[in-house]
Structure 1
Amino acid sequence: MERKEFMFIHLIAMGGSIMHNLALALHDKGLKVTGSDDEIFEPAKSRLAEASILPPQEGWYPEKLEAKPDAVILGMHARPDNPELLRAQELGIPIFSFPEFIYEQSKDKQRIVIGGSHGKTSITSIIMHVLRHLNRKFDYAVGAQLEGFNRMVKLTEDAPVIIIEGDEYLSDPIKRVPKFHLYHHHIGVISGISWDHINVFPTQEIYREQFRIFAEMTPKAGALIYDRDDEQAQLVSIPRNPETVDYIGYGVHEYTIRNGKTILQTKKEGDVEIQLFGEHNLRNISAAKEVCKKLGIKAHDFYEALKTFKGAAKRLEKIGENNQTVIFRDFAHAPSKVKATTEAVKQQFPQRRLVACLELHTFSSLNKEFLPQYQAALDKADTPIVYFNPDTIAHKQMQLLTEDEIKAGFGNNRIKVFTDSEALQQELENLNFTNTNLLLMSSGTFNNLNLEALSKAILQLS
């Protein structure tokens, strides 16, 4: 199919993490870029300003559409009655969601889409790191800022392949289709399935169905790579077209832990020391290796590149350490990821105590009916802590959680519950961190808690 050429793009709700990166990528490509949003925070504000494409004022201005851009890209943050969207519809301007536009710009490329309830960003990041290490040309769209990449989106004319993190959440407020259905992958990955986003997928069956659809979208001569140990992933990845589609299951890469370091065990390369750790990351490595193999990358080159991979931002990211304590932060919020991340830190440092602090921030995690999905998620922590902001619950118009409900949901009476970030900070600074690690998990900000300053304070005391 022929790819459309655009010279002038307008983005509605351009201030979001991935949307402002798309705006910058299009600007880098030489396109005229305008946009709007009702709120733009840092770092998006400074980055857009530096590129001279920051909207002069916040808010929606339908008159901007009178300039007749070639296309409008609609962010998920916009509402169906957005005045700029309505004006674009009146003027007959082509309207794309983020994934629709990425597909439109990559019709002539090989598309690799990484899906799953957890591990998407890490798998995508590993593949990108390996390709860059080998000086391969590629485009990408990933949900985190990666070391060595100044954008989260890159679109070029000549790259033969694009690596896409395939989110299962809805693409935009109009069509309400999962993003990863719209990329039309050649190679797809399902890293595991664990019910999430209950505001749009109210049952586990409806949620799992989105992955089954994704799996069945794998085209002839395509490949579907899936976690063979994940029961839900197995259910949706059952080979339906084994004659025409390559179904590849993967598991945990063989490894040992020596002196707090993870060593991969390989047949031809011997022992390979890496900077990642945790069983979930060893699965992510296996998934990435299978994708790279499909792209013609040899095992030796894959492992050489992997040695220098430090991980994606906020994915078991080390934010401070001394000889008694290591402090990590992680984007974990889904139950399966919280459990995997907590267990990973405990397994990597078995002789140390672990303080694991989780912020409940998403619609699903703050829902009383969903809380039982967190059963045993924090059991490996010596001091389990759960924080939530009552203002977040009020903003989402949800019922306030009680301490007893949280303890029952997690099946853990040892959990300390906090609803005040200052009280949480004081609690953490007063704990004894001798021979103890701290794990901070959230998709939010702990009500704008300065984690770097907290880390320094803790390390000075331990």
Structure 2
Amino acid sequence: MTKVHFIAIGGSVMHQLAIALKIKGYAVSGSDDEIYEPALTNLRQAGILPASFGWDATRITPDIDAVILGMHAREDNPELIRARELNLKIYSFPEYIYQESKNKTRVAVGGSHGKTTTTAMIMHVLQHSHKKFDYLVGAKLEGFSQSVNITDAPIIVCEADEYPASVIEKRPKFHFLHPQIAVLTGIAWDHINVFPTYEIYKEQFAIFIRQMEPGAVLIYNSSDTELSDLVAAEGRHLKLVPYTTPIHMIREGVTRVFFDEGYADLEVFGGHNLLNMHAAKLVCNELGLTDEEFLAGIASFKGAAKRLELVAKNERSAIYRDFAHAPSKVKATMEAVRQQYPDRQLIAVLELHTYSSLNADFLTQYEGAMAPADIAGVFYSKHALEIKRMPDLDPELVRTRFGRKDLHIFTDRPAFEAFLNAQQYNNTNLLLMSSGTYDGIDFNGLARLLEK
């Protein structure tokens, strides 16, 4: 029996991989210095929750076939030191995914935005078409009990992240997947704590393209000029498949998309989602599905968690929650809501929560990003700045960086909630964008705003 040990098993995707391998029949063990929900309950139910928290070198024994190292583990971790002493095979998360999928058709969805949604669309349609496949995706999806699944299926669909693989492997995760079919959705500078300049960030995508095997399929967003130029320079050895926004129409708040002779009325909307959908269709075509089969499946796709997720609505108003945090994502999400409901007022609030978005210099990237909103706000907490050991942000500086003098600034939840309570929601949409929680706001409770 294959024996696998996870150092830092409590991570959001790490614990999902651990559970998937347990289901596959592997002997799985793990450790962590702290494990939070939902990982705590998930690992307990799977029977692989560590008996105690903390690191213990005696857990590392010579009979372990693979040690999988999470991002949370430091280089001086005693279990990692012991694994090196025993010359055990040590993998980062993506390196191990590749080991488990060497004999599969590997699909990797990369890019600065839209990765999760595009991956989710592919998964949804494949499932609808009864195709057997494994997957790795960064969100909870309706119809899938896990966010990672490893079986003996002939296909694996992976969300391909550009963040570093582990503490001892600093290269981006997506460099280790070696796909036969890849998607690149676009390039917009992010993760400045890892990639301090745009050129360094862009180079990671150049390396990804160069590393693809000759004849592999690269599906890319040709409306992104930076990406198109990069593909032209680096992708001559590949089968290149460009895509743009497909033909569509919006009627009474419903988007209809057309591919060849067929069409589907969608549960999701927005120009960015239409781009993601076109990429997903092209992947499904490469995997043997027709446009007709794709349209039949995509019509019931409701979106990934926190991606333009509908919180509440009535006949005149709606509240949406979105994971958007990088400048390009923020603008695309607001434009989507504006285009879908052109006659409604738009109130939009962005939480600055990531290292990049809380950096005063990087904030210049957000200039004009909040322009589509009639009423715009920015929320950031002192707590988030303290955790990241970053200096305080002056509200006037934030307004200047966003290029909007009427920008509402909130630095604590009570002030933010008071603002929400004071607004009128007749013929109005509220859009909340963040990779955080606005210091623990009750999203489900926001439905009461529409009752005013």
2:185 aligns with: 191
Q: Cα offset for 1:442? A: 0.8
SS of residue paired to 1:368 = coil
Structure 2: how far apart are the matches of 1:199 and 1:149? 33
Q: Cα offset for 1:272? A: 1.9
* 2:244 equivalent to 1:247: no
Q: Cα offset for 1:62? A: 2.1
1:459 aligns with: 450
Structure 1: how far apart are the matches of 2:330 and 2:357? 11
2:90 aligns with: 95
Q: TM-score, normalised by structure 1?
A: 0.95
- Residues 432 and 154 of structure 1: CA distance in aligned 2, closer, same or farther (over 3 Å): same
Structure 2: how far apart are the matches of 1:422 and 1:167? 35
1:329 aligns with: 321
* 2:80 equivalent to 1:85: yes
Q: Cα offset for 1:160? A: 1.1
Q: Cα offset for 1:240? A: 4.7
Q: TM-score, normalised by structure 2?
A: 0.97
**The one of 4, 29, 45 aligned to 1:9:** 4
Q: Cα offset for 1:427? A: 1.6
1:115-130 matches, within 5 Å, as: 115-130=110-125
* 2:62 equivalent to 1:42: no
Q: Cα offset for 1:456? A: 2.4
Q: Cα offset for 1:67? A: 7.1
Check the 8 A contact 1:113/1:165 in 2, yes or no.
Answer: yes
SS of residue paired to 1:237 = helix
Instruction: Give the aligned CA root-mean-square deviation in angstroms.
Output: 1.3
**The one of 46, 51, 55 aligned to 1:56:** 51
**The one of 13, 25, 28 aligned to 1:30:** 25
2:100 aligns with: 105
1:265 aligns with: 258
Amino acid across the alignment from 1:37: D
1:3 aligns with: none
SS of residue paired to 1:180 = helix
Amino acid across the alignment from 1:29: K
Amino acid across the alignment from 1:419: T
Structure 1: how far apart are the matches of 2:253 and 2:353? 31
Q: Cα offset for 1:432? A: 1.3
* 2:212 equivalent to 1:218: yes
1:415 aligns with: 407
Amino acid across the alignment from 2:447: K
Structure 1: how far apart are the matches of 2:259 and 2:66? 49
Check the 8 A contact 1:289/1:302 in 2, yes or no.
Answer: yes
SS of residue paired to 2:58 = helix
SS of residue paired to 1:446 = coil
Structure 2: how far apart are the matches of 1:139 and 1:272? 26
Structure 2: how far apart are the matches of 1:18 and 1:257? 36
Structure 1: how far apart are the matches of 2:53 and 2:234? 50
Q: Cα offset for 1:239? A: 5.7
Cα deviation per residue 1:395-438 (whole Å; 9 max; x = unaligned)?
11112111111111111112111110122122212211111111
Q: Cα offset for 1:129? A: 0.6
Amino acid across the alignment from 2:221: D
Check the 8 A contact 2:311/2:447 in 1, yes or no.
Answer: no
Structure 1: how far apart are the matches of 2:31 and 2:351? 30
Q: Cα offset for 1:109? A: 0.6
Structure 2: how far apart are the matches of 1:15 and 1:458? 36
* 2:203 equivalent to 1:209: yes
Cα deviation per residue 1:54-112 (whole Å; 9 max; x = unaligned)?
12222222222147422111111211112221122122221100000000000001111
SS of residue paired to 2:72 = coil
How many residue pairs get aligned? The number is 452
Identity %: 48
Structure 2: how far apart are the matches of 1:23 and 1:240? 36
Structure 2: how far apart are the matches of 1:336 and 1:58? 40
Structure 2: how far apart are the matches of 1:171 and 1:104? 15
2:431 aligns with: 439
1:401 aligns with: 393
1:115-194 matches, within 5 Å, as: 115-157=110-152, 159-194=153-188
- Residues 124 and 354 of structure 1: CA distance in aligned 2, closer, same or farther (over 3 Å): same
Amino acid across the alignment from 2:254: K
User: Structure 1 unaligned runs (5+)?
Assistant: 1-5
1:450 aligns with: 442
**The one of 275, 278, 299 aligned to 1:286:** 278
Check the 8 A contact 1:208/1:232 in 2, yes or no.
Answer: no
Structure 2: how far apart are the matches of 1:19 and 1:419? 33
Structure 2: how far apart are the matches of 1:447 and 1:42? 17
Amino acid across the alignment from 2:21: L
**The one of 228, 249, 259 aligned to 1:256:** 249
Amino acid across the alignment from 2:82: R
Cα deviation per residue 1:242-282 (whole Å; 9 max; x = unaligned)?
4x52111100011111001101133311x421111110011
Cα deviation per residue 1:323-343 (whole Å; 9 max; x = unaligned)?
222111111111100110011
Q: Cα offset for 1:40? A: 1.4
Q: Cα offset for 1:19? A: 0.8
